[in-house]
Structure 1
Amino acid sequence: MFRDLKVNEQDGKVYLTLYNRDGSPALRDVSVGVSSEVTQPGDNWTAAAANLLLRLDEEDQPQLALTPQDIGAAAAENGVSLYVHQKSGTVHTLTGSGDNLRFVATADFAAGDTIQVNGQACTAATAAGDALWNGFFRSGAVVVCYRTGNRLTFNGGGLPAAEAAKLAPENLKTGVSITANGKTVTGSFTADGNVTAGQMLAGAVGYAKGEKVTGSIPSRGAAAYRPGTADQTIAAGQYLSGAQTIQGDANLRADNIRQGVSIFGVAGNLVPRIPVAYAACSRVLGLLPGSTGDYRRPTRASGYADPAYGSLSGLGYFQDNQSGTRQVVWQCARTGRYLVELFGDGEISARGEMQISVGQTITLTIP
């Protein structure tokens, strides 16, 4: 005759629903053995809705008090097994049979408590996978769960793990507290921010005064700049995410820049080197009679010397058969540093940049 048995948590009454097994619309063969309050929802009952609600008030009718065995027999028809609950210390013990469990809690569940079913320790969690938290059930509550191996899964209670992770102080307004999954979170998010899009990098998102703000500052990666004749400008309003390198050159020195010229703030001190003396030899177009009557081709030694620095000797023409050494000599008239170079044929007595004193000579030997 039993279809379902429920305890109403609001009025504390036990409700028992009965039905005719043959599905007939008429109610018959209903006997409770004592006087009780019987409520019939209506006269026009169908076979599917032929239910009789029998309210058993234990306080007013103690003779109708149900034993755990009575309730267990009723629940068993719907595949639910009534278990007996006890608590000792931090251990909750459930005694009964079947995998679909229903029990009336005799004590509160506290954080850190464990549960045993018929003496076997079980892992207890909600359907969302969260561990049971402090106060998950209270004494007197009707609790439903199901067993799979050594795991007990309790219906209801709490947010899924992914949603619970979002329950963080920074996601809640300051002063607002929310309790879920046994944890109370108090918000720290404030609405007094004043950031603007122009103060945040492009793609970054923030909130100010309750509104969403998306950044607009562009980023500029690493770059190198080589100085030239025109200015190169890095535009304002950018975030330099990489190093900006202005290239240098070791040759940017004063002695490499002509005196009177400044390059990137470096003032030159190089004085242009205008030759103070030079000598050159060459064959000339002319024939001179030789001592033997043969014609000879002459060689001419020519040159120039700034008299403020020195003088040249040995200039003129040389015949091919002329005896003696053909040399041009420069004699220094002002002490200083001089650069001596040779281009073409010939030999010189000194070469390169050197300090030359008054009276010293440099000799060019003509081949």
Structure 2
Amino acid sequence: MRLMFRLAPAVASVNGGTIRGARKLIVRETGLAPDRVGKMLAGRYVNFSRRTLEKICTWPEKRGYKGDLPDDLFEPCTSSAWEYVAESRAVILFVGGYTWPHNRVGPFIHEQDNFAANHIGGPLNDPSIVYVPFVTMAEKGTPSKATWTPYAKIAQETLDSSRCCAGRKTLFFVGSQKVNYALELVIGELFTSCKPFSAHRDPETVPFYLYFGDGRCDLPSMFGGCVAPKGAARGRRVPTVGLYHYDLDKRSWDVVETTSGSREGGMIVVSVDQKTGSTEIALLGMTANGTEAMAAAFVDDPDRFWPAHLIANESTGTRRPPTHQLDRGVGDGRVLQISVCDIKYRRSDHHRVVVDGCNIVRKYVNWDKVAA
């Protein structure tokens, strides 16, 4: 269960009835990170350690707070999506770990992907973490099939093994297909007209595409790569690098442009098996920073990204994004919702990503037809 800090009322009662200037004061006296204290004062969910909790609980008391501590400082904050996940018998996080060809040392985990996994694991009770190896290739262009095929096979075996666990389960996939080969396999099962690890750029089949730009090693993928999707240029000599999402009504691409270190596109895919109730959730950005930001946005308000009819309290926000109904054949047997996001973020002094805004710009769903 998540905890919502109610720090602002306690701070105001010992700070002249206001929280103005309180963040600097708390940071100076407790040594806590400014971003973390800011989230607490704003009433946003924060993953906290025992040491952090002790500092926050004792700070108002030292300044003469007369209320009931620690009860006055935080309260349970229920989320229908988290409750849905909590009913799982097992929760497994798939995180990509990179290695070099012919190198027996590894895998090594990217710092931001590890942070993303920590974001997700915070509200859950001891999730298992599975590291899916992928190969780091220095050359440009399309790598030989022999280079990456063994790692794709390992990803398939790992995925099959995790799915065989008895009972209802939830699988999280952290990172794009470049670093998490299991994600390519999952998307391939949802959009069966394409084959995983094969170059494909037809928006009528897969309506989203991660265009990373030229000059990188181009692993074959059914929904991304270093070659732009068809029709992406729109008269430009060079297509915009970013996350492309297809308007199925207008038959044209829109793009969330990648701005280095501050803004990019990201996606959250939620797929629920109707028979078993098992859930698979993918969180990815164009970069490692974007992936961490998407994980943080999901943890803050997972109900925004969940199929509406499966939870009791959908969080809709102030603006409803365009929602497209996918064909009946897409995700057969599963309730599917794909949220394409425009996410803004910055790096804190502690090398963590701080989310400044996450706007869902388009949704693809199949649950209207599934329900029918």
TM-score (ref. length: structure 2): 0.18
More strand per residue: 1 or 2?
Answer: 1
TM-score (ref. length: structure 1): 0.18
Q: Quick one: higher RCO (CA 8 Å, sep 6+), 1 or 2?
A: 2
